[in-house]
Amino acid sequence: MSTAIFGAHVVSGPPAPEWLAKPEYRRATINMVLGAQLLEPLLRDLRAAHPEVLSEDIGLVLQSQTGELEATVEFLRGWSQMGIARPLLFQSSLHNATAGFLAIQYAIKGPVISTSPSFFSEEQALEMAQVLLDEKQCRFCLVVSLDAWPAIKGLEGGSGFSASYASAVVLAREPGGLGRRLNSIEMKPEARPVFTEPQWSHRPSSRNALFNLASALLSSETQKVETQKEEGRSVITWSGA
Amino acid sequence: MWITGTGALSCAGRNPGELWESLLAEKSGLIEGLGRVADLSPDAPADLALSMALETARQAMGQAGWSHLNEDDGIIIATTTGQILMWDQALLHFFKDQADPESFRRAFAHQPLGQLLNTLTESLGSRTPHRWLLTSACTASTQALIMGALWIRQKKVKRCLVGSVEVLCDLTVQGFRSLQLLSNETARPFDRDRKGINLSEGAAFVCLEGQNPGPRALAEVRGWGLTTDAFSMTSPEAEGRGSYRAMKQALETAKLAPNEIDWIHAHGTGSMHNDAAEGQAVRALFGAKSPPLTSTKAIHGHLLAASGLLETVIGVEALKRQTVLGTANVQNIDETTGANVLVKSEPRPLRHIMKNTLGFGGANAALVLSRVGDRA
């Protein structure tokens, strides 16, 4: 069954400075700010086009490889070096913290699922969203993929974030929006070696199917696009309406 | 959707049968407020999460008669800690300049939670590409069971192995302590003298099939609901509206009326906010004559992401044995929650039961499980 694509958005690199400076994000993690920067325009467009949409009609599937790595590392550092367990860092360290944060910020009351694909298949979030839509668990489903890797001194030097990115598409049960449809996600068994090293310096956008899909939707007029991920793990196709 | 195999490993028992006996005998596996799993097989992998998951998955698959996972089968795992014990100490050593970058890199490769899914799938000898890993805090494994059922309904997979595993670690123990939610005493869910929750580790697995498996069926997954509070990162919405909607959806998809539910297995962590919100949600949906409600967390503790699935396994046992369990360790029921708390275990005809779950991030999920042969 194909699914309509309502919208798409990408953030390549860290959050924009004006987003980081917002007072309401003072205690937010980088993942949370990236997610907010992604979803605000998408939800504004969605609610403008469908003013009848209820919070309960909107679902969210958020995938992140490493989750809230920044908060996790800082929590453990504080606990091990000073014996201080900071509650805010703990609640922000949970893998679904950004999903919960975005649900609160944007009143998302349908199913909210967080997932970690671990470099296996970045398409799993898209497939989950399709399943939720086909089963009428929501009318619209935001599919978000984001990660921010803090630079860890001694591994690569420097400070801040060695890599970060975020992308999102909005899938819908009904036609409209971008006028394109997500047709199929085909998962292929493949004997690719399991990921064995953290990929500190690589930018995942080049191999993240959701990022590629969102980027193509925003920039391409192509009626039918197919992408085969490197090493043939999975195939995703989408096309014009 | 049918459950054809179950597995459970916790401080209260090494399999569903042992767990059930502990529950009936009100024999808690908690020590000083924590539930640890001891005495794993000597040839088990050093990775505790993988070891517990493998043992429990094999219990479930053995009961279901599944020799392996095919390439058109799915596997869904739920966890919040994953393989953290494989890397957290390495991180601390690295901070203290006591580890070289290469050894740290190798340990830290286990940090993405999804890594556990890949390792487990391959340890089970499967190459299925249908792998999902959910991390939605304490609701994750109930979500996983629901998503497994929907995955099969959509014919994306033929069968689905649904599992969950959690380990005790500094991050969760000190984290929950920092939120002042932990109790060193055994939890007292729905008791007015509650002191807090008990964390524990363990695993639970079920085998899920879409076609009626005949006599192999243990229970039917008949209804489901998935909602979000959008209220607080760590507390449920005070009146339990999100939890109410999840349970209501579960009744609607099961095509059952509230008075057809014979027992509610509550999330019942023993935290004040959870008990109050969940009690109000149950009262709002089921009214003054709500079915008896039980929390079993005083026996096995709170397995975080794995709690929903472990308690689903308990529900399957209850349906099989036609017995409801009491809420161990409750002495003075907190009437303000409005819940019809069951204190003592007793035989009772059970056709349909509700499993309810709430989690950080405002995630709610509810299931209706039915006795085999009770589809109208």
Q: What is the pLDDT of residue B109?
A: 80
- Whole-number Å distance between alpha carbons of A127 and A213: 13
ipTM of the complex: 0.96
Query: Which pLDDT score, from 0 to 100, does residue A160 have?
Result: 58
Given a contact cutoff of 8 angstroms between Cβ atoms, the answer to whether B349 and B323 are in contact is no
Q: Which residue in chain A is spatially nearest to B120 when comparing CA positions?
A: A194
For residues B113 and A62, give the distance between their C-alpha atoms in angstroms, rounded to a whole number. Answer: 14
- Do A234 and B129 make contact, defined as CB atoms within 8 angstroms? yes
Assess A197–B contact: CB distance below 8 Å, yes or no.
Answer: yes
Q: From the CA atom positions of chain A, what is the Rg in Å?
A: 18
Please name every residue paired with B165 in a beta bridge, in sequence order, or none if there are none. B203
Half-sphere exposure of A103 (CA within 13 A, CB side): 35
Span A167-178, pLDDT tens digits: 888 999 887 777
Provide the pLDDT for residue A166.
84
Task: Give the chain A residue whose CA is nearest to the CA of B123.
Answer: A194
Put simply, the chain B residues between 137 and 166 with a CB less than 8 A from any chain A CB are 137, 140, 143, 147, 150-151, 153-154, 156
Summarised one tens digit per residue, pLDDT across range A118-127 is 655 567 888 8
**Tens-digit pLDDT profile for residues A84-99:** 999 999 999 999 999 9
Residues facing B9 on adjacent strands? B203
CA-CA-CA-CA torsion sign (B310, B313, B315, B317): negative
How many CB atoms within 10 Å of residue A230?
8
Chain B residues whose beta carbon lies within 8 Å of the beta carbon of residue A155: 101, 104-105
What is the H or E stretch that residue A58 is in? Answer: strand A58-63
Which of B135, B143, B156 to mutate to probe the A interface, most A CBs <10 Å? B135
pLDDT, tens digit, for every residue of B98-145? Answer: 777 778 878 888 888 988 998 999 899 998 988 999 999 999 999 999
Domain boundaries, chain B: 2-370
B33 min Cα distance to partner chain A (Å): 19
Handedness of CA A125, A126, A130, A133 (dihedral sign): positive
* Whether the predicted pLDDT of B246 surpasses 80: yes
Rounded CA-CA distance A200/A163 in Å is 8
Name the band, by pLDDT with cuts 50, 70 and 90, for residue A200: very low
Confidence class for position B247, pLDDT limits 50, 70, 90: very high
Q: Where in chain A are the domains?
A: 3-240
Instruction: Tell me which amino acid residue A4 is.
Output: A
Residues 242-301 of B with CB under 8 A from A: 242, 245
* Contact across the interface for B106 and A187, Cβ inside 8 Å: no
- How big is chain B by its Cα radius of gyration, in Å? 19
| Amino acid B336: pLDDT | 92
B294-338 pLDDT, tens per residue?
Answer: 999 999 999 999 999 999 999 999 999 999 999 999 999 999 998
Say whether domain A3-240 belongs to CATH 3.40.47.
yes
Q: ∠B215-B216-B218 over CA atoms, to 5°? A: 100
Task: Please tell me the predicted confidence (pLDDT) of residue A225.
Answer: 44
DSSP string, A105-158: HHT--S-EEEE--TTS-TTHHHHHHHHHHHTTS-SEEEEEEEEEEE--TTTT-S
pLDDT the model gives residue B129:
86
Q: Which CATH number fits domain B2-370: 1.10.3720.10, 1.10.10.10, 3.40.47.10, 3.40.190.10?
A: 3.40.47.10
Q: For residue A223, what pLDDT is reported?
A: 42
Q: Given this model, what pLDDT does residue B375 score?
A: 62
